[in-house]
Structure 1
Amino acid sequence: MTEDKNPEVGAVVIGRNEGDRLKLCLSSVIAQIETVVYVDSGSHDGSPEYAATLGVEIVDLDMSIPFSAGRARNEGFNRLLQLGKKLEFVQFIDGDCELNGNWITYAKQFLTKQSSYAIVSGLLEERNPEKSIYNELCNIEWKRPEGDALSCGGIFLARITAISSVNGFSSEMIAGEEPELCFRLRQKNWKIYNSGINMALHDANMLYFKQWWKRSVRSGYAYTHRYFIHTYNNDEYLKKATIRIWFWTIILPFFAFLLSIMISPLFMITLLAYLVQLIRSYRHTLRFTRNKRTSFLYSFFNALGKWPQLIGQITFIYKRLKNQQKSIIEYK
């Protein structure tokens, strides 16, 4: 065991059929962390076997039980604790990401000094944003303002005692498990911090409109699921996000058409609110992208995304009423 391997830190990597991306991921992780658990969810590309050659602890998920990223991370986290190492922090990372070489040192020092923080995350960038519009959109999505945050994405360093205090991730959520975890942490007065430090490269490999649409459906499903779980917990951000989807897709067009029929066609002018919202979003995005084309694309797809998100919300409600089993919505 060497000092540069950060003996106080363990890592949980999750993946399925990531191929060369997993090789990059594990290489970047074991270069900084000695105790690593890889959780595989039914790969048939030799991922578990490759991970085993690196001396990584392997967890093969029982795929007869409904899969979720939250469940995979929980099983990896539990195995990490069972290894009996004296760990204080855990790095969660997906198999399609490559960890920055300086990240663990910085993140560990931050949590060591800032005892009120449960999680620290950093800058995540797309590996190939130029390959498609949808990769480019992801690259913008990853950009978060530096400072205290309400939530984080799936790549972050966390304090083990904090994760244990809320019993880890919600295994039943098919997406959005990280914001849901952060919400429960904040309820226990833990803080979340987003740094301006480069954390990792991500490879979305999202090349087609169909993939983007499914991902947006999954996002809407996750919003509604979290809203259902925390209806009485005063999650104002979540309430606004959920209501916003219904407003732009149903409420506004319904009343515009209804009033135009009942009173005057002039009420159709209220639909210009879409244009106003697009311009506002464009101006906001332009502030940090400094690119007119990129800002317009992001604003346009952000507006368009409300419709697949609505489908995701309706899907959750339908399955809840029918008491149907939830299943993951895959877009890759």
Structure 2
Amino acid sequence: MKVAAIVIGRNEGARLIACLDALAGKAAPVIYVDSGSTDGSVAAAKARGAQVVALDMTRPFTAARARNAGLAVLPEDAALVQLLDGDCVLREGWLDIACDFLTAHPRAAVACGRRRERQPDASVYNALIDAEWDTPVGQAKACGGDALMRVSALRAVGGYRDTLIAGEEPELCVRLRAAGWQVWRLEAEMTWHDAAITRFGQWWNRTRRAGHAFAEGAALHGAPPERHWVAETRRALIWGAVLPLAILLLALLVTPWALALFMVYPLQVLRLSRRGGTAWALFTVLGKVAEAQGVLQYLLRRGRGRIIEYK
């Protein structure tokens, strides 16, 4: 089957060049969708033979909109498409494995594999992200930004939802599964990812963005039986907003000793550390505050939000 590739990016620099070079001879066409880069990304992509689509940045930008712009110019005979973020590099042999799998499983719309951080030791944030990518193998509910997809399935459900600030892939997978398609994660190396997150503020904004995605996903597909991201939204609000606010109100209105209730947070870190280690537990608990911020941002600015950048 003919395999095309869609890469999206903005100011990815050398990471984009590495991404496109790894696709040479493996996919055709390679379509690069640029979102207002000022670092020469467009020229670099053209020099490597990629078909470039430049988004109109007078309209609100989302990654989902960029991916749809790439899908819109796919040739009609493209049966499969590899979706990639511009900070990722395809691993050798992945396309052969994934293509064989989709050929053997006609109800599978999506095949994704192991995405790894290229420099997990560069920062605690990179290490956390590398662990985040390590999800169970087998039939799954969702994929991430890198995946090989069946073009007919994508077109049948209308592609990505343009307006989503984040979480566009899980939302797409909800609709694919509702239409009878399957999503699979394979035991195979798929991509190197270069998060390049070295500052706390970057991690905070990325986590806040996740909270926004939880709330928007729950608003779209939170009804039974899917209950998409309802639990994640609830946990973010309880641990990141409701509980700390309640403790502060008790301390102000009843007794300052109520501040001792904040000990529930280090106790939660201790409990979670038994499962994933101290660093993971600490940032998971702290991240609930950032997620709650994203949830509240969505609720207060529903339909008027802009993408939350973190790089």
What's the TM-score, normalizing by structure 2?
0.93
**Contact 1:32 1:101 (8 Å CA) reproduced:** no
Deviation at 1:270, TM superposition (A): 6.1
The 1-side partners of 2:63 and 2:27 are apart by: 22
The 2-side partners of 1:131 and 1:268 are apart by: 36
State the one-letter code of the partner of 1:45.
D
The 2-side partners of 1:264 and 1:330 are apart by: 40
Deviation at 1:14, TM superposition (A): 0.5
2:140 to 125, 140, 149: 149
Deviation at 1:282, TM superposition (A): 2.3
SS across alignment from 1:236: coil
Q: Hey, what does 2:3 align to over in structure 1?
A: 9
Establish whether residue 34 from structure 1 lines up as the match of residue 34 from structure 2: no
Q: Hey, what does 1:329 align to over in structure 2?
A: 308
SS across alignment from 1:106: helix
- Written as runs of structure 1 = structure 2, the 5 A alignment for 1:184-263 is 184-232=175-223, 234-254=225-245
Q: Hey, what does 2:72 align to over in structure 1?
A: 78
Q: Hey, what does 2:38 align to over in structure 1?
A: 44
- CA deviation vs aligned residue, 1:300-330 (integer Å, no higher than 9, x gap): 101101101111111111112xx6x321111
State the one-letter code of the partner of 2:306.
S
Q: Hey, what does 1:312 align to over in structure 2?
A: 294
The 1-side partners of 2:251 and 2:122 are apart by: 44
Q: Equivalent pairs: percent with the same residue?
A: 39
Deviation at 1:281, TM superposition (A): 2.7
**Contact 2:88 2:194 (8 Å CA) reproduced:** yes
State the one-letter code of the partner of 2:214.
Y
Summarize the Cα distance change of 1:277–1:193 in structure 2 as closer, same or farther, 3 Å threshold: farther
State the one-letter code of the partner of 2:58.
S
Deviation at 1:263, TM superposition (A): 9.1
2:281 to 299, 304, 307: 299
The 1-side partners of 2:146 and 2:200 are apart by: 25
- CA deviation vs aligned residue, 1:15-41 (integer Å, no higher than 9, x gap): 111111111100111231122111011
State the one-letter code of the partner of 1:176.
G
SS across alignment from 2:229: helix
Summarize the Cα distance change of 1:272–1:147 in structure 2 as closer, same or farther, 3 Å threshold: farther
**Contact 1:278 1:303 (8 Å CA) reproduced:** yes
State the one-letter code of the partner of 1:123.
R
**Contact 2:222 2:229 (8 Å CA) reproduced:** no
What's the TM-score, normalizing by structure 1?
0.87
The 2-side partners of 1:94 and 1:153 are apart by: 10
1:163 to 137, 140, 154: 154
**Contact 2:240 2:291 (8 Å CA) reproduced:** no
- CA deviation vs aligned residue, 1:72-114 (integer Å, no higher than 9, x gap): 000001111xx34x22111000111010011000000011101
State the one-letter code of the partner of 1:326.
G
The 2-side partners of 1:95 and 1:258 are apart by: 46
Summarize the Cα distance change of 1:269–1:235 in structure 2 as closer, same or farther, 3 Å threshold: farther
State the one-letter code of the partner of 1:113.
A
Summarize the Cα distance change of 1:21–1:261 in structure 2 as closer, same or farther, 3 Å threshold: closer
Q: Hey, what does 1:89 align to over in structure 2?
A: 80
SS across alignment from 2:73: helix
Deviation at 1:251, TM superposition (A): 3.5
**Contact 2:218 2:227 (8 Å CA) reproduced:** no
State the one-letter code of the partner of 1:160.
V
Q: Mean Cα displacement is larger for which, 139-148 or 222-231?
A: 222-231
State the one-letter code of the partner of 2:9.
G
State the one-letter code of the partner of 1:76.
G
Unaligned stretches of 5+ residues in structure 2: none
State how many pairs are aligned.
Answer: 311
SS across alignment from 2:7: strand
The 2-side partners of 1:252 and 1:200 are apart by: 39
Q: Hey, what does 1:112 align to over in structure 2?
A: 103
Summarize the Cα distance change of 1:147–1:273 in structure 2 as closer, same or farther, 3 Å threshold: farther
**Contact 1:123 1:198 (8 Å CA) reproduced:** yes
**Contact 2:222 2:228 (8 Å CA) reproduced:** no
The 2-side partners of 1:100 and 1:270 are apart by: 48
The 1-side partners of 2:56 and 2:156 are apart by: 25
